[in-house]
Structure 1
Amino acid sequence: MPITTSQPTPKINKCGRRWIQAELESKVHRGQWIDPTDKTTVGEYARHYARTRPHGESTAARVESMIRNHVEGTALGSRRLGAVRPSEAQAWVTDRVQVLAPSTVRLLVAFMRGAYAAAVADRLVAESPFARVTLPRDEAERIVPLTVAQVRKLAAAMPERYRAMVVAQAGLGLRISELLALRVQDVDFLRRTARVEHQISRATRERIAPKTALSRRTIPLPDVVSTALAEHLRKYAPAVDGLIFHTSSGRPYPHAFYGTKVFGRAVTKSKLPVGTTSHSLRHYYASVLLAAGESVVAVAERLGHEDAKLVLTTYGHLLPDSEERTRRAVDDAWNAVSEATAEPSTAQGPPR
């Protein structure tokens, strides 16, 4: 007689069937019933979830890339949403660690956790398999902001038509999209302020609203920026709409053209650290303000950030030449205590 490992399907008596029916009806009544026949895949639901989120243009592009390359581009994407086990979710995370930086993996997992939380709310799954996955340690290398000398060197390495763009971004802390949208009417040379009213879309090169409500802001205009902009406008007339930095046809520069070709070549020419981008000038601006004693809240306002804590964690780096200030601060504190506790020269002998 052949040996078989299959087990006969257990018979359920009438009482058991009634209990199961009652349990199903109870779950339906409580809104806890999950349809076990739903065939929605992880990739399909990830796209549905992304479409429902109020993402800005750049975030939407990043999420689209994540879904296409790291969800749909893996075995997880074709799995049925409700069939993914926690061990599968962990294996997927471990696999992504091999090809992505730890910080990117964390963003990817945060997105998947959000998607599964929505799926739970939609009654498509009972619980999220990503709830307890182990994430890689994010030991990002400490960012050292550029020095004034390096920013000057970078500006000097730029073609003359783009030189003021480096000074303006470093002196105002603008995002590249805000820099490309700067107009003459946004700069008040008399009151020494610059106003961020728009940004340039990376996809369409059209003028659009700033990234967030707080991104629309007024920034103090330093003399170095005022001088650079005035000199630039003397040599290169603004576009019809007032755009300061523009192509020969009066259109905004494409992000990739300025950020990669023009800026990237100047970084190489000036021998700045590998990885220096236009965003490094924002790091520089924030770090200068923090080193000068500006409050985190004030720096967040200048940068157009909604979260002041994010400024502290992202931009709170010491400038490379701050060592002497640290030494002097400690020495001054010790010297002050020593002077306050020093005994007078006419001190009497020890007490009897």
Structure 2
Amino acid sequence: MFGLSPEGIDYARGVVHVRRQVQSIGGKLYFALPKGAKTRTADMPASVAEELTEHAESFPPAEVELPWGRPDGPPKKVSLLLATRFGNAVAVNTWNTYTWKPALAKAGIIPPRSKGAKPWQWQAAPKDGFHVLRHTYASLLLEAGESVVTVARWLGHSSPAITLGYYAHFMREAGSKGRTAIDGLLGRQG
């Protein structure tokens, strides 16, 4: 998400090209390939396209230069849809600590930070981190009946078996489609 550029949005085809992410080692940000070291293309619903358009109008993309591949890699300039108010790349840990966790606490999902705690000292479990949005996305797709193969490809999993291992419990009507198919074969209605 933090490495997404306007060039990665294909409004005509309704897809997002995931080509990079922003990583951090020792507080030094750099661009890297997405999870699994491979780019991917994911479906983009019209509602998401509208939100991205509105976001880009309110917060114009920022030209950011970071090393590529490692903290001491060659510099690369990329126009980013999400940047700090100073036009820098967003560090996921900083965003998680100062934006995401406070929003969860305000919504009552996690407890507020203890009095006197440091900004990064939340009582929230790792499952409450920003990565939960990825799990929510996958879960919603599978609950809606999207193919496991498609979801695996969009998430960058090396195999649909990995996706099934994480998300099988979200698959709607598991087993009922098979019963319906056999009933149809035998000319019966379920």
Seen in structure 2, the aligned counterparts of structure 1 residues 340 and 212 have a Cα distance that, compared at 3 Å, is closer
Greater strand proportion: 2
The one-letter amino acid of 1:238's match is: P
Greater helix proportion: 1
Counterpart residue number, 1:196: 18
Aligned match of 1:280 in 116, 132, 136? 132
Aligned match of 1:207 in 28, 31, 35? 31
Q: Does 1:317 align with 2:141?
A: no
Shift of 1:301: 0.2
Q: Which has the larger radius of gyration?
A: 1
Q: Does 1:228 align with 2:80?
A: no
The CA distance in 1 between the partners of 2:143 and 2:159, in whole Å, is 19
Is there any run of 5+ residues in structure 1 with no aligned partner, and where? 1-178, 342-352
The one-letter amino acid of 1:290's match is: L
Shift of 1:192: 1.2
The one-letter amino acid of 1:286's match is: A
TM-score norm. by structure 1 comes to 0.39
Q: Bigger relative contact order, structure 1 or 2, given CA contacts below 8 A and separation 6+?
A: 2
Counterpart residue number, 1:253: 90
Alignment of 1:289-328 (within 5 A): 289-318=141-170
Shift of 1:318: 2.5
Shift of 1:340: 5.0
Seen in structure 2, the aligned counterparts of structure 1 residues 272 and 317 have a Cα distance that, compared at 3 Å, is farther
Aligned match of 2:5 in 173, 183, 193? 183
Shift of 1:209: 2.2
Aligned match of 2:80 in 230, 235, 243? 243
Please identify runs of 4+ aligned residues in structure 1 that moved more than 4 A: none
> Can you list the C-alpha shifts for 1:301-321, whole angstroms capped at 9, x where unaligned?
0101112211111122338xx
SS at match of 1:224: helix
The one-letter amino acid of 2:92's match is: H
SS at match of 1:281: helix
SS at match of 2:17: strand
The one-letter amino acid of 1:207's match is: F
The CA distance in 2 between the partners of 1:317 and 1:262, in whole Å, is 30
Shift of 1:184: 0.7
Percent identity, please: 30
> Can you list the C-alpha shifts for 1:228-265, whole angstroms capped at 9, x where unaligned?
11111111111123201001232111121111220011
How many aligned positions are there? 152
Q: CA RMSD in A?
A: 2.7
SS at match of 2:80: coil
> Can you list the C-alpha shifts for 1:100-148, whole angstroms capped at 9, x where unaligned?
xxxxxxxxxxxxxxxxxxxxxxxxxxxxxxxxxxxxxxxxxxxxxxxxx
SS at match of 1:194: strand
SS at match of 2:170: coil
Alignment of 1:1-352 (within 5 A): 179-203=1-25, 204-213=28-37, 215-240=38-63, 241-272=78-109, 275=125, 276-318=128-170, 340=188
> Can you list the C-alpha shifts for 1:151-179, whole angstroms capped at 9, x where unaligned?
xxxxxxxxxxxxxxxxxxxxxxxxxxxx1
The one-letter amino acid of 1:212's match is: G
> Can you list the C-alpha shifts for 1:275-321, whole angstroms capped at 9, x where unaligned?
422211111111122222222221110101112211111122338xx
Is there any run of 5+ residues in structure 2 with no aligned partner, and where? 64-77, 111-123
Shift of 1:208: 1.8
The one-letter amino acid of 1:206's match is: Y
